[in-house]
Amino acid sequence: MVQYGDLDTAFGAVSDPTRRGILERLGHGDASISELAESFDMTLTGVKKHFGVLEYARLVTTNKVGRVRPCRLGSRRLENEAAWIERFQRMMDDRFNRLEALLERTKE
């Protein structure tokens, strides 16, 4: 099996709808773990587990300020992931174009 390292980590992190929701929520501004838990109607433990996956992928970050742990988007920009998706899309487009051309030729 081919390993893609950081791509696997990022795609794994965004494969879950709750984690995508957390990223969208943090895109609107910082929030504490407690605020995220309320937003997603989850336990603190559940949000912390999701947040840990996102943090491992460097998509979010947090630091402790007193008793609060503000969460924010991380510095990772997903450029490599976007480039991979674009290459895959071009490959699929090429395959469908070849299939379409073949079907056109067999119709005649």
- The residues near 47 (Cβ < 8 Å, ≥ 6 apart) are 22, 33, 36, 37, 40
Contact, 76 vs 59, CB < 8 A?
yes
Sign of the dihedral defined by the CA atoms of residues 80, 73, 39, 66, in that order: positive
Predicted model pTM: 0.78
pLDDT at 4: 60
- Provide the residue-wise pLDDT of the chain in tens; the chain has 108 residues: 445 678 899 999 999 999 999 999 999 999 999 999 999 989 999 999 999 999 999 999 998 888 888 999 998 888 888 999 999 999 999 999 999 999 988 887
Residue 93, number of CB atoms within 10 A of its CB: 10
pLDDT at 1: 45
